[in-house]
Structure formats: C-alpha cells, structure tokens
Amino acid sequence: MATVIVRPELSALLEQTGALHKHLCPRQVLGVRMGMLAAEKFPIELPQSGKRLIAFVESDGCFADGISVATGCSMGHRTLRLVDYGKVAATFVDTLSGAAIRFFPSPDVRKRAAEFAPEAGNRWQAQLEAYQRLPNEDIVLCREVALNLDLEAIVGKPGKRTTCSACGEEVLNQREVMKDEQALCMSCAGEGYWRVKG
Ligand SMILES: [Zn+2]
Ligand SMILES: [Zn+2]
C-alpha cells in the first residue's frame, strides 16, 4: 500500500510561527511557503523530526522562523544554518542524496501582492494576504544548485571534542583549526569575531 504523506496545512504552520513571534508578518509567510514547497520537491516528510534535510537561510529574523516551522530544520538540531546574505532566500539540501535546491522570491512578488489585494490598507497588509493565497509559482522560484561547501565538514563529527591548545576552551563538531600540528579554536587561530578589551 502506498504511504500517504499527510502534510500540515498552511494555516496550521502560520499559527505556529505567528505564536513564536506574537505576530504574523509577510516574511514568516514566505518562509513557511518555501518550506512547504520544499516538502513537495524532496522525498522527505516535512516538518522532519530527523536530520536529513539541512536548510541554509540567507537572512535571520522572521523569515528564518517560517522556514524552521515548516521544515523542522532548527539550530537545535544542527539542521538550520545562517549564511547572512541579507536575502529572503534559502537552500535546502537532502543529506542522503546530496540534492540541493535554492528557493527565492519571484522578483516582482511585491507588485503581484499589490495587484492581488488592492483593497488592503497598505503594502504590508497586501503582502501578508497575497503571500498566503497566491499560488507557489507567483511568489517563489526555485532552482537546483550544487554546493560550494563541503557538507561533511559542515556536519562534522557530532560528539567529537577537542581542547584549544591556546585558550584551553573546548571545541565541538570539528571546528578546530590545525596550526603547526596544534589544535586551535577559530578565535585563537585569528579568525575570531571578538577580541579581549583594552
Ligand atoms: Zn515578523
Ligand atoms: Zn582558543
């Protein structure tokens, strides 16, 4: 007997993401719609409870929460990664097959929203309504891509730990950098985003 995949409804997913934020906004809706479209493109039941699908989101904020609710990808599961391009776009990768698809908004999505809901009080409201009701192809585009990243290195060996030989702090998931046969954390290796004050 064929397995029937029961997919959650848009309204249920929007309720969840809206509750996270105490509001619902157009970008959350776009994130949810992209996640739902991913559920049609990949042979994976979404929202997933496992770790098969990894999402690379290209901006943080409301959009990323929409993606997370619709796909089950999360930082906690190590299946949601931020690549901060400041774009409302995301690439999903099936870690089993290696297939990767990038989803991005149709370039004239704002215009379409304004045309779809001219009676809406303002542009924000028009987008909120239109992004929920327009068909996928009017708001989201997607294309197959190949990753420039080493997926295995990104996933790393969960559970593997090293101690930085300079600061003595623990480094997880193979994020250490080897220099002169010494394991260093990224900060001590000179790639840090912070420095000691003074
Ligand atoms: Zn928001
Ligand atoms: Zn260190």
pLDDT digits (tens, 9 = 90+) for 127-143: 999 999 999 999 999 99
Average pLDDT of the segment spanning 52-57: 97
Average pLDDT of the segment spanning 148-172: 91
Give distance in angstroms: CA of 177 to centre of ligand 2: 10
CA of 42: how far to CAs of 7, 21, 30, 101, in Å? Answer: 13, 28, 18, 9
- Cis omega (within 30 of 0) for bond into 43: no
What's the confidence (pLDDT) of residue 6?
67
- Give one DSSP letter per residue of 19-67, joined into a string: HHHTS--HHHHHHHHHHHHHHHHSSS-SS-SSSSEEEEESS-SHHHHHH
- CA–CA dist 167, 93 (Å, integer): 35
Classify burial at 70, counting beta carbons within 10 Å of its beta carbon; exposed 0-12, middle 13-18, buried 19 or more: buried
Kindly identify the ligand whose nearest atom is closest to the C-alpha of 168.
2
Give distance in angstroms: CA of 83 to centre of ligand 2: 23
Average pLDDT of the segment spanning 176-196: 93
What's the confidence (pLDDT) of residue 5?
63
- CA–CA dist 62, 26 (Å, integer): 9
Q: What percent of the chain has pLDDT over 90?
A: 82
Average pLDDT of the segment spanning 76-101: 96
Assign 141 to helix, strand or coil: strand
What's the confidence (pLDDT) of residue 8?
83
Binned at pLDDT 50, 70 and 90, residue 4 comes out as low
Kindly identify the ligand whose nearest atom is closest to the C-alpha of 167.
2
116 sits in which H/E element: helix 109-116
- Report the sign of the C-alpha dihedral through residues 136, 138, 142, 143, in that order: positive
Kindly identify the ligand whose nearest atom is closest to the C-alpha of 177.
2
Residue 176 pLDDT exceeds 60:
yes
Binned at pLDDT 50, 70 and 90, residue 42 comes out as very high
User: In order of start, what are the domains of the chain with their CATH numbers?
Assistant: 10-152 (3.30.1330.130), 156-191 (3.30.60)
What's the confidence (pLDDT) of residue 140?
96
The model's pLDDT over 98-110, given as tens digits with 9 standing for 90+, comes to 999 999 999 999 9
Give distance in angstroms: CA of 147 to centre of ligand 2: 29
- CA–CA dist 34, 13 (Å, integer): 12
Residue 78 pLDDT exceeds 80:
yes
Q: Left (φ > 0), alpha (ψ -120 to 50) or beta: where does 78 sit?
A: left
Kindly identify the ligand whose nearest atom is closest to the C-alpha of 28.
1
